Structure 1
């Protein structure tokens, strides 16, 4: 399974309604993003998504999930978090920390960290956050959310390459049948 971050469809500024004059000249509007806006964005990006039991939007891929969450008393914090399913042992944690330190130094997002479960299994989480409570330029929000999504996918590809796991993954996927290039089908 190889995931090509460029396989996430690009999109532009939302189109003006038919027959309308379009957006007036000047800066794009300031909005307070909400789950409906993110749902529209994921639809535009043609990404499969669901709402989980906690009410967060989730876009599933093979091997990880990307969550779109609003947090805070007034939902003033927007976070995109990727939960990577591949387990690591405590013995591997040092190597994994070295790799994610390298990623975090060389990239803007997502910032990746480990989470060690009570049973000793280590998993990776990637996270990006934006304060949105007073509003944000809609074009900035859309572009940033799409870039964060693409970067979460890109991290999965990067870690697979760095750990030399591509052949193992292709064997699991049925000898590299190409099914792992996009969002998971649930």
Structure 2
């Protein structure tokens, strides 16, 4: 099944297209469908060593993962934000991401502490796909999750003043390495 480019939501203030009246087709999404969608969105992607699709940005990377089998199969969009924080930053990070998580539906954001003591933020949205989903719902959800991941990156940067830090040369605590 291919994706009709007009089915990709704009969210730029344009009105939604009129419903066609036809019953939506139900399918079990797979990696090839996500590749088509990413191509339609003109996003670069790669397949990592574990077989997951990843779309790299400068400050984060977003993975498109399929997990489970049968009616328990899940599709997840998980974003790993590159900016490192220290363990001492965690209480403030909790306040900031709790605010985001209360006010938004996705991505839900949490912290991850690495073995070297650096803390990174991770955003995630997921849906059960094992019983099938409509193509329109899958496309709309995936595009919304990608855009929300981008918005979170902007929002957390503004909220924590990271743009100012970048301008002044302060990179925060941690190793500063990025995987892009």
Q: TM-score, normalised by structure 2?
A: 0.81
Name 1:13's counterpart in structure 2: 7
| Aligned position for 1:82 | 79
For residues 116 and 12 of structure 1, the distance between their equivalents in structure 2, rounded to whole angstroms, comes to 41
Tell whether 2:142 aligns with 1:145: yes
- Cα drift, residue 117 of structure 1: 1.3
Gaps of 5+ in 1: 1-10, 15-23, 173-185
- Partner in structure 2 of residue 50 of structure 1: 46
Partner of 1:37: 33
Secondary structure at 2:6's aligned position in 1? coil
Specify which of 62, 75, 85 is matched with residue 66 of structure 1. Answer: 62
- Superposed CA deviations along residues 35-80 of structure 1, whole A, max 9, x for unmatched, are 0000000000000111111100000001100000000134710000
How many pairs were matched up? 154
- Post-superposition Cα deviations, 1:116-172, rounded to whole Å, max 9, x if no partner, equal 112211111000010000100110100000000000111000000001111333566
CA RMSD across the alignment: 1.7
Change in Cα spacing, 1:45 to 1:81, as seen in structure 2 (3 Å) is: same
Q: Which runs of 4+ in 1 moved over 4 A?
A: none
Partner of 2:118: 121
Query: Residues 75 and 126 of structure 2 are in contact (CA less than 8 Å); yes or no, is this contact kept in structure 1?
Result: yes
Instruction: Check whether the contact 2:28–2:130 (CA below 8 A) recurs between aligned residues.
Output: yes
